[in-house]
């Protein structure tokens, strides 16, 4: 089962002293998390001003540095609409990744199915040879995915619960997984929550045999509520939960 680390997300450096933002910091954290047992990383590359970026240059340098630090470990990025809300502009940025040299192009990218224009973003990724992680947040996302002719071409489905309440988040995971299983679509499922739902959903995912994710994007704290020292501490705690 895959444990992916989500290194930074949309968080600000003020959220946590060890939040990786620069390509160098992302690369160091990716390597530390891989050494701790993470099998892939998900990052939100930043522009020089520190904000999230979809520009090919920013994507390329972050991916390249991470690859250099942990060769052979798959690395993915976000395409979240909040980064660049205009669909046409966002599509153009993502389509431009096709021109990146292969060693600086992401292995995969997440596409949130509740966001306008997601099909064109997913098409652009597939056309660039970048794997699509279909982000399912709500039950209606499952119908959206099934109405898309290229659903079976996705790399995996991300089941992303929204609630910060542990029990409600696990119930969301159960509902979404049941809907996805009923489709007959044979794709790996990676199930994760965030904030107050992160550890409960990770435990649920592992107990049910699904891939999972942890990292400072999803939570700043360890299972006991103490602030995590860094991403690697979260990965170590996740694997201890699994084996404990
Ligand atoms: C809001 C979620 N943290 C979104 C997420 O994890 C996938 C993405 O980067 O698009």
Tens-digit pLDDT profile for residues 173-218: 999 999 999 999 999 999 999 999 999 999 999 999 999 999 999 9
Does the pLDDT of residue 153 top 70, yes or no? Answer: yes
Residues 6+ apart with CB under 8 A from 27: 62, 65, 66, 68, 69, 70
Domain span holding position 94: 3-243
Regarding the beta carbon of 80 and ligand 1, being less than 6 Å apart is answered yes
- Cβ neighbour number for residue 20 with a 10 Å cutoff: 27
Distance 169 CA to ligand 1 centre (A): 16
Distance 170 CA to ligand 1 centre (A): 18
Does the pLDDT of residue 244 top 70, yes or no? Answer: no
Q: ipTM greater than 0.85, yes or no?
A: yes
Mean per-residue pLDDT over the chain, rounded = 97
- This prediction has a pTM of 0.97
Q: How far apart are CA 152 and CA 156, in angstroms?
A: 9
Q: How far apart are CA 199 and CA 186, in angstroms?
A: 26
């Amino acid at each position: 089962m895959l444990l992916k680390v989500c290194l930074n997300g949309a968080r600000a450096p003020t959220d946590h002293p060890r939040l990786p933002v620069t390509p160098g910091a992302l690369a160091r954290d990716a390597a530390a998390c891989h050494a701790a047992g993470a099998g892939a990383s998900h990052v939100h590359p930043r522009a020089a001003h520190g904000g999230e970026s979809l520009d090919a240059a920013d994507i390329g340098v972050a991916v390249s540095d991470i690859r250099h630090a942990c060769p052979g470990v798959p690395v993915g990025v976000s395409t979240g609409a909040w980064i660049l809300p205009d669909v046409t502009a966002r599509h153009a940025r993502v389509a431009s990744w096709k021109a990146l040299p292969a060693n600086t192009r992401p292995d995969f990218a997440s596409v949130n199915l509740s966001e306008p224009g997601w099909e064109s973003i997913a098409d652009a990724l597939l056309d660039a040879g970048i794997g699509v992680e279909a982000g399912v947040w709500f039950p209606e996302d499952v119908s959206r995915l099934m109405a898309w002719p290229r659903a079976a071409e996705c790399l995996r489905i991300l089941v992303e619960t929204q609630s910060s309440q542990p029990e409600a988040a696990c119930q969301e995971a159960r509902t979404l997984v049941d809907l996805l299983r009923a489709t007959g679509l044979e794709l790996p499922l990676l199930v994760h929550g965030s904030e107050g739902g992160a550890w409960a959903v990770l435990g649920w995912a592992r107990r049910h045999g699904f891939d999972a994710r942890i990292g400072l994007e999803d939570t700043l704290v360890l299972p006991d509520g103490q602030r995590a020292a860094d991403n690697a501490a979260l990965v170590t705690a996740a694997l201890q939960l699994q084996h404990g």
